[in-house]
Structure 1
Amino acid sequence: MAHRATIVMVYLRSSLRGTGLAVRLLEAISDHARDIGIRQLELFVSAENPAAIRFYQRQGFAEIGRIPGGVLEEGREIDDVMMARRVDGIL
């Protein structure tokens, strides 16, 4: 059984930002992951999205690496920031 899971492409409507919904959503994902034996959640976020990076850092995620030019947006290559957080309480 896999012990890692990746969160892929989560977006929140701008009118719902700052309402706590994103925190509750991430808590629900973490709870479910823990219930099914996942130990670590991972995600990728654009290096040009500092608000999302800060949000994930506040939720306990840490940068574990980068993929240079991992995202191609309008012909531009943008680094993909890799982040991870343990959900099993082990550091």
Structure 2
Amino acid sequence: FHFVNDGIETALDQARDAAGDRDVRIAGGGATILEYVNAGLIDEFTIALSPVLFGSGIRLFEGVDAGHVALEPIRAEPTRRVTHLTYTVQKR
């Protein structure tokens, strides 16, 4: 893992350089996904949804720029403790 404070584009450029021809995975919470989705830099993402209530948080898709992107669900993989939800990001 590398921590980058120069913005999401710089972090993604460094990850692409390190990955070569392999896929790049970005780890983070809802705010991180939201930044990359709205910047048009994500083509697919997976959310690990666990039924644990902590009392507060953010609405994951609140703030998605629906005028520029659409989220298309492509896979849901449920287990007893977590459900993995995968979406593609389509440009509008």
TM-score bracket relative to the smaller structure: 0.3 to 0.5
If asked which structure has higher relative contact order (CA below 8 Å, sep 6+), I would say 1
| TM-score (norm: length of structure 1) | 0.39
- Write 1 or 2 for the structure with the bigger share of helix: 1
Q: Which has the higher strand share?
A: 1
Alignment TM-score, normalising by the size of structure 2: 0.39
